[in-house]
Amino acid sequence: MATDTVDSTVLLEIYRRTARIYHADCKFRQMISTGELAIVYYPVRGQEVLAAAMMTALEHDDYLVTIYRGLHDQIAKGVPLKPLWAEFAGKRTGTCCGKGGPMHITHPESGLMVTTGIVGSGIPIATGLGLASQLAGDGKVTVCSFGDGATNIGAFHEGVNLASLWNLPVIFLCQNNRYGEHTKFEFTSTTETVAERGVAYGIRSVRVDGNDAAQMYAAAREAVEHARAGHGPTLIEAMTFRFNGHVFGDPGKYIPKEELEAAMAADPVPRLREQLLALDISPSTLDDIDAQAVQEVEEAAAFALNSGQPELRENRLDVLSEEILG
Amino acid sequence: MSELITFGQAYNLALAEAMENDEQVILLGEDVGDEQGGGVFKTMYGLSGRFGTDRVRSTPIAEQAILGAAVGSAIAGYRPVADIMFMNFLTVCMDQLVNHAAKLRFMSGGQTAVPLTVTTTTGTGRQFGGQHSDWLEAWLAHVPGLKVVTPSTPADAKALLLASIEDDDPTIFIQHIALMRAKGAAPAADHRVPLGKAAVVREGTDITVISYGARVRDCLQVAERLADQVSIEVVDLRTIAPFDEETVLRSVVKTQRAVVMHEAVKAFGVGAEIASRIHEELFGQLKAPVHRVGSKYSPVPFNPGLEQDWTANGGDLEVAIRKVMG
């Protein structure tokens, strides 16, 4: 699909979200490296455009369920950077008062309903959100984001089957970065593609270059329209790559050097920039977007660092609907 | 003589009343629709006819999908009742229950409540064998964020199920298989049982016997049988978690002796927790150590003689009472 099928204002919006993700990811890795932040972090470098394109196709109140490698999804969906960053740092000003942490970000105001640390477990929950929207007739679409590794757990098969059976407005977004933890997709999957597994459950299934903004956006748009029209779920297998190891600090020695080099040579972020320049968007426009993103990220990081710790009383709150005594 | 109803009827009445009172109440589970028989014990018969197959949904045999869909619809504002046919099947969806249902309120800093009720059955007496008869309530009670409930009379069954559905926390409602068709007094119109409150179902002065569910009947029978030798007070917990420490301790302060009885195996069970709490709070006031009565430490056997021998019964309770009375 050529870039000219997607409006340049849409591509610019995707670039805006991409820039925020790109600079936030860089800043997180830098802060962890320097010891300013001591957290377990799952880098999203390489997968920015995919998330930005998907979420640009959604409305603000559509639902998102994502996983521990979710910073790109969360930023793209519109979770405000300051409380997001503060939650990653476990501070009282975080989206979840510091009780969720990097693997459990929730922000319903932005549609982000669950971030789970358990591979694949968000899939049946997304099906339930779809069920709620179908029953309520509220027109919302749920996007469920997961990696290729999740497609081998039972929850994937049960959740996709149920969503298909009940024709629910859910988009199953497999971000196929070709590695589940340290293991190659080919080594763990009996099928060549994830998309063909969706076909087996009778749902619309497409495989796209997730690193191409226009192609990814077009696929996302079609899936959203399909769901909103009441035609049920879509499985999007979006091909991408992870430029870092599974968790920050993992050198990723299991990734062949040539494979990593080829992927980095096709870096989706400069690729999107070039596509925009080819559409006569001026370099200064893009530079301004980057500068703006850097500023927002710096402000968010400072906000997180300067925020206080949660009150210890928080441990008695939100366990049950009543405060725990004693 | 007042009207009698079965546990199964009580259960059906509670579901119907809850669905009548609140349109957000939905029911998901295997075979729950009228066309499929209204549940394996027919306790849900008539509900899909009355409330429609949108709200009463028969599902595939897929416990992770049932529980996950219940979690997803709960965080979007519904009050799902997820029927997991047998308690042992909860092991198939423990991820959804333990990692998601129990924790999303806390991990989101109170942003997403999970007002979900899981209804399930278990217990000996009908020879369902090793994979359909376990009591796993101690596993569940051990997880912060879950409430666990089991009734000992049909009237309480109706009230406790209604309270579970109306409660804003995830609640597991356990019904004893062998009692499904057992009869008891129909509830009075104003019969309500709040979660977390035990009942002193028989007054006594010499020893407190604490139990829940079907085994409360053994306690009452033994109390009656030994009435001319020892005055036994019987406490029905009704809610296992949160445990009504106040009612239990008040009773033991009076009697200064206690035995805890349950159908789950004795080792590492709920009885250990209750006995320990009594010892911590009342050690100096006790006339004897608190004893526990539980079933034998083996998987539940099939053979009727073996099954009967396995299950903690009135005889075991009597032995424990005599030991404690000295």
Chain A segment 150-189 residues within 8 A of B by beta carbon are 154-155, 158-159, 161-162, 165-166
Mean pLDDT of B291-319: 97
Q: Is the pLDDT of residue A3 over 60?
A: no
Q: What is the C-alpha to C-alpha distance for residues B41 and B174, in angstroms, rounded to an integer?
A: 14
Q: Is the pLDDT of residue A325 over 80?
A: no
What type of residue sits at position A60?
H
| Partner-chain contact B68 A136, CB within 8 Å | no
Residue A280: predicted pLDDT? 95
Q: What is the C-alpha to C-alpha distance for residues A163 and A126, in angstroms, rounded to an integer?
A: 9
Is A104's Cβ below 8 Å from some Cβ in B?
yes
| Partner-chain contact B68 A131, CB within 8 Å | no
**Over the stretch A94-127, which tens digit does the pLDDT of each residue have?**
999 999 999 999 999 999 999 999 999 999 999 9
Q: Is the pLDDT of residue A292 over 50?
A: yes
Q: From the CB of residue A245, how many other CB atoms can be counted at a distance below 10 Å?
A: 18
Q: Is the pLDDT of residue A2 over 90?
A: no
Mean pLDDT of B119-131: 95
Tell me which of B100, B132, B262, B291 is the catalytic residue. Answer: B132
Q: How confident is the model at residue B141 (pLDDT cuts 50, 70, 90)?
A: very high
Instruction: State the burial class of residue A177 (Cβ atoms within 10 Å of its Cβ: 0-12, 13-18, 19+).
Output: buried
Q: How confident is the model at residue B27 (pLDDT cuts 50, 70, 90)?
A: very high
| Partner-chain contact B68 A320, CB within 8 Å | no
Candidates A113, A318, A322: best to mutate against B (most CBs of B within 10 A) is A318
Q: Is the pLDDT of residue A15 over 80?
A: yes
Chain B partners within 8 Å of A107 (Cβ): 111
Backbone angles phi, psi at B148, to 5 degrees: -130, 130
Residue A326: predicted pLDDT? 59
Give the residue on B whose Cα is nearest the Cα of A154.
Answer: B64
Give the residue on A whose Cα is nearest the Cα of B29.
Answer: A162
Considering CB atoms only, which of A94, A118, A128 is closest to B73? Answer: A128
Contact between B226 and B251 (Cβ < 8 Å): no
Distance from CA of A150 to the nearest CA of B (A): 14
Residue B149: predicted pLDDT? 98
Chain B segment 71-110 residues within 8 A of A by beta carbon are 71-78, 80, 95-96, 99-100, 103-110
**Over the stretch B75-118, which tens digit does the pLDDT of each residue have?**
999 999 999 999 999 999 999 999 999 999 999 999 999 999 99
Residue B270: predicted pLDDT? 98
Q: What is the C-alpha to C-alpha distance for residues A198 and A206, in angstroms, rounded to an integer?
A: 9
Q: How confident is the model at residue B2 (pLDDT cuts 50, 70, 90)?
A: confident
What type of residue sits at position A261?
E
Q: How confident is the model at residue A4 (pLDDT cuts 50, 70, 90)?
A: low
Residue A6: predicted pLDDT? 83
Structure tokens that stand for A170 in this block: 């859910």
| Partner-chain contact A162 B60, CB within 8 Å | yes
Active-site residue B132, yes or no?
yes
Q: From the CB of residue B152, how many other CB atoms can be counted at a distance below 10 Å?
A: 27
- The three-state (H, E, C) secondary structure of chain A, written as one string: CCHHHCCHHHHHHHHHHHHHHHHHHHHHHHHHHCCCCCCCCCCCCCCHHHHHHHHHCCCCCCEEEEECCCHHHHHHHCCCHHHHHHHHCCCCCCCCCCCCCCCCCCEHHHCEEEEECCCCCHHHHHHHHHHHHHHHCCCCCEEEEEEHHHHHCHHHHHHHHHHHHCCCCEEEEEEECCEECCEEHHHHCCCCCCHHHHHHCCCEEEEEECCCHHHHHHHHHHHHHHHHCCCCCEEEEEECCCCCCCCCCCCCCCCCHHHHHHHHHCCHHHHHHHHHHHCCCCHHHHHHHHHHHHHHHHHHHHHHHHCCCCCHHHHHCCCCCCCCCC
Contact between B43 and B35 (Cβ < 8 Å): no
**Over the stretch B175-223, which tens digit does the pLDDT of each residue have?**
999 999 999 999 998 999 999 999 999 999 999 999 999 999 999 999 9
| Partner-chain contact A128 B55, CB within 8 Å | no
| Partner-chain contact A158 B74, CB within 8 Å | no
Q: What is the C-alpha to C-alpha distance for residues A66 and A103, in angstroms, rounded to an integer?
A: 9
| Partner-chain contact B62 A106, CB within 8 Å | no
Is A146's Cβ below 8 Å from some Cβ in B?
no
Share of chain B above pLDDT 90, in %: 99
Mean pLDDT of B245-256: 98
Residue A324: predicted pLDDT? 83
Q: What is the pTM of this model?
A: 0.96
Chain B partners within 8 Å of A106 (Cβ): 104, 107-109, 111-112
Candidates B75, B171, B280: best to mutate against A (most CBs of A within 10 A) is B75
Q: Is the pLDDT of residue A1 over 50?
A: no
Nearest to B112 by CA among B121, B102, B120, B122: B102
Residue B1: predicted pLDDT? 52
Contact between B181 and B214 (Cβ < 8 Å): no
**Over the stretch B161-173, which tens digit does the pLDDT of each residue have?**
999 999 999 999 9
- Give, in order, the Cα–Cα distances in Å from A197 to each of A174, A184, B168: 11, 18, 37
Share of chain A above pLDDT 70, in %: 98
Considering CB atoms only, which of A107, A129, A165 is closest to B72? Answer: A129
